[in-house]
Amino acid sequence: MDKKISLDSSSIREENTGSVEFQISHLTNRVLKLTSHLKLHSKDYSSQRGLWKILGKRKRLLGYLAENDPTWYEELIGNLGIRGLKRR
């Protein structure tokens, strides 16, 4: 149930827990945990709402990173195994 994605120090530029990269990886771990929880408890609507809020925050952070540092954005989504943002 605990499928955690851990990024080694070479993939995160800073050891700062406030960095965008760390926040995105931490939110991804929380998404994985909530997803596995919702597979068992499909009618837990409070957790569903929390999942949507986490996904929205991660999407905003990914948008910020894609705008400011596109190469690092591509590397991060490759390491985490998540889909990128839709391009307009």
Q: With a cut of 70, say whether residue 12 has pLDDT above it.
A: no
Q: What is the pLDDT of residue 9?
A: 42
**Once rounded to an integer, what is the mean pLDDT over residues 65-78?**
95
What number does CATH give the domain 20-80?
1.10.287.10
Q: Where are the domains of the chain?
A: 20-80
Maximal C-alpha separation, the chain: 40
Query: How far apart, in whole angstroms, are the C-alpha atoms of residue 57 and residue 82?
Result: 15
Instruction: Report whether 31 contacts 48 (CB < 8 A).
Output: no
For the chain, the average pLDDT equals: 87
pLDDT tens track for 22-58:
999 999 999 999 999 999 999 999 999 999 999 999 9
Which of 81, 26, 85 has its CA nearest to residue 59? 85
Q: What is the pLDDT of residue 26?
A: 95
Global pTM value: 0.81
